[in-house]
A and B are shown apart, each in its own frame.
Chain A
Amino acid sequence: MSGGILNRVWKSIFRHGFPENERLRSEAITSNLFLHVHPVKVYRETLEFPKTLGLGLISFYLFVILSITGVLLMFYYVPHVDRAYQDMKDLQFVVSFGVIIRNMHRWSAHAMIVAVFLHMCRVYYTASYREPREFNWVLGVFLLLLTLFLSLTGYLLPWDQLAYWAITIVSNLIGVAPLVGKKMRYMVLGGTIVGQNALIRFYVMHVIVLPFLALLLILVHFWRIRKDGGLARTNEAAEAAEEREGDPQGEELKSYGLMNLVEGKTPHVGQDPDRMVTAWPHLLVREATLFLFVMIGIMAMSVLFDAPLEEMANFAITPNPAKAPWYFVGLQELLSWGNPIYGGILAPMAAVLALLLVPYLDRGQVGTAEWIHPTRRRAILIFTAISVTAIVLIFVGEYMRGPNWHLYWPWQKWPIH
């Protein structure tokens, strides 16, 4: 009898049995709110790991891990200057598994910046941003910025020396912007110093505003992948052109009239079925496997390495040297060279603008969805040069700057003050 009831419960939720044939497999995807972001069928070629390296998914999984561990941390953390640091100490030493949860949050945040950056590199080096995917690239640039802002706002919350002085530097960076700089800084900090107002502002941005915006953009980003015809494929432009010309008798177009409501970009019936497989199980299994690897990586990091926590924030003593978070330390390095308007404002703005324009400036047709196609030599050289410059700046700032911002080799010892 109980088997009968269980069966009825199962049927009331899933409406179908185990998806053992193609019809049920497509139903498994379309009848499920969470799965139906996937297409029913995907091209075999887009499932190949070396095509994407799974970097977009890895970024998303890190976002999920960050959301869950972040909510857990919120149960103990109070954003008040008298309590924040104590709560961090409690999480570190008193709360059960507190240190693991915090480590996971910290390492996932770092990893997400790296993953999002590498994802951007992958899309660039495979020219996957080309028509019709230009706008999804733009969304991706905004997601990269949101990832950086999320990390930055989270950086202040532990209220230790590292946090306090990094945010002091970054907030003054905002202050050097022409005309509106001082007002912006006042609004961001909620005052003139990094104090209680700044802490609560960063907290609200970090736990509500920015994650919500990021989630929204992620959903649009995913949705656009579907609407733009799935992941970029090598011959897709040629296929689409062929399709537009259509069958001489016009019969084929007519019989699939409903599909054509969405302009020719969805997987069509009768379109070389051999090259497509059902998302269940081929795509889902790969996604689940990748998630396991991400979890294993983050767990291993969190068990082996503890996130840093320095002494409590002390506005009287600047640590020497004081450094911004590593992903902004390249900017800090630029800043140390001279006029902050060039290094701190114009250079990053030019970089973001250039990124936004990439898909609209590229007129190439050849080499879409292929790694580092020889016809794209100039585009690839420019992108690589800028990326390497950014990485070198970060490396110099992080590993080669000692007390008073003097240059040292990474293996050189700093003088003791």
Chain B
Amino acid sequence: MVLSQGAAGSDGVLDPTAVEPPRLVLVSFSFWLARAASAESPPDPPDLAASTSPQPDPPDPVALRVAIAAHLAGLGWTGAEPLRWAITAVDPLRGLQLEGVGVSQGQSCQPERQ
């Protein structure tokens, strides 16, 4: 919690009604996340592709949440977490496109606008 400058009364006791909640900030995001398994697998020869191409591992939602939080932290929103998100595209080369909105408490952020 962040106390405002005017939070203390005349007797120095904190007035709970003057406590300001943390400043919330909503952050939109969109980025590509490489898929570990498919990114590391070498491409198959054309004539064998149908029979030997490994199936990609299904995405782990817990790992995706961690990746989104890391992405937001990389933008300067340390501690931000995904509020609403989804995989919105899949590309064999770029991986998974993640779009959504994160929520940050905001007070300590120095976002790098990108």
Asked if A and B bind, the verdict is no
Which A residues have a C-beta under 8 Å from some C-beta of B? none
B interface, CB within 8 angstroms of A: none
